[in-house]
Structure 1
Amino acid sequence: MPTITACIVAYCDYEEVCAAVRSILKFTPAPDFTLYIVDNASPDGCGKQLAETDWADPRVQVLCLPENVGFGRGHNAVLGKLYSDVHFILNPDIVLFEDVLEPMAEWLLAQPGAAMATPQLCYPDGRLQHLPRRKPTPWLLLARQLAPRFGGVFQKADDYYTMRDADLAVPRRIEFCTGSFMAVRTDVLQKIGGFDPEYFMYVEDADLTQKVLREGTVWLAPQFGAIHAWHRAPMRDAGKFRMQLVSMGRYFKKWGWGKGNL
Structure 2
Amino acid sequence: MRISCAIVSYHNPPEQIAEALRSVAATPMDIALYLIDNSANDSLGAVAREFGAHYIHRPDNPGFGSAHNLAIAASLEQGADYHVVLNPDISFGPEVLPALSAYMEQHRDIGLLMPDIRYPDGSRQHLCKLLPHPGDLTVRRFLPFLYRLSGRVHTYELHCGDYDSTMEVPALSGCFMFLRTAVLRQVGGFDQRFFMYLEDVDLSRRIGRVARTVYYPGVSIVHAYQKGSYRNSALLMRHIRSAIQYFGKWGWFFDAERSEVNRRALQKLQKRPQATVTSASMLDRKP
Query: How does the TM-score come out when normalised to structure 2?
Result: 0.83
> Which of 119, 143, 168 is residue 163 of structure 2 equivalent to?
168
Deviations 1:71-115 (A, max 9, x none): 000100122211211110000000013421122022023214211
1:78 pairs with 2:78: no
Aligned to 1:111: 107
1:157 pairs with 2:152: yes
1:134 pairs with 2:130: yes
Does the 8 A contact of 1:147 with 1:158 survive in 2? Answer: no
- Alpha-carbon distance, 1:146 to partner: 4.0
- Alpha-carbon distance, 1:227 to partner: 0.3
CA distance in structure 2 between the partners assigned to 1:170 and 1:86 by the alignment? 23
Quick one: percent identity of the two aligned structures? 30
SS at match of 1:49: coil
- Alpha-carbon distance, 1:52 to partner: 2.4
Query: Unaligned 5+ residue runs, structure 2?
Result: 266-287
Say how many residue pairs are matched.
253
CA distance in structure 2 between the partners assigned to 1:151 and 1:251 by the alignment? 21
Structure with bigger helix share is 2
Q: CA RMSD in A?
A: 1.7
SS at match of 1:22: helix
Does the 8 A contact of 1:233 with 1:240 survive in 2? Answer: yes
SS at match of 1:78: helix
Query: Unaligned 5+ residue runs, structure 1?
Result: none
- Alpha-carbon distance, 1:246 to partner: 1.2
The list of structure 1 runs, each at least 4 consecutive aligned residues, that deviate by more than 6 angstroms after superposition, is none
Aligned to 1:52: 46
Aligned to 2:61: 68
- Alpha-carbon distance, 1:151 to partner: 5.2
CA distance in structure 1 between the partners assigned to 2:215 and 2:110 by the alignment? 11
SS at match of 2:43: helix
Matches within 5 A, 1:214-229: 214-229=209-224
Query: How does the TM-score come out when normalised to structure 1?
Result: 0.91
CA distance in structure 2 between the partners assigned to 1:121 and 1:134 by the alignment? 17
Larger radius of gyration: 2
Structure 2 counterpart of 1:76, one-letter code: N
Judge which range, 250-259 or 201-210, deviates more: 250-259
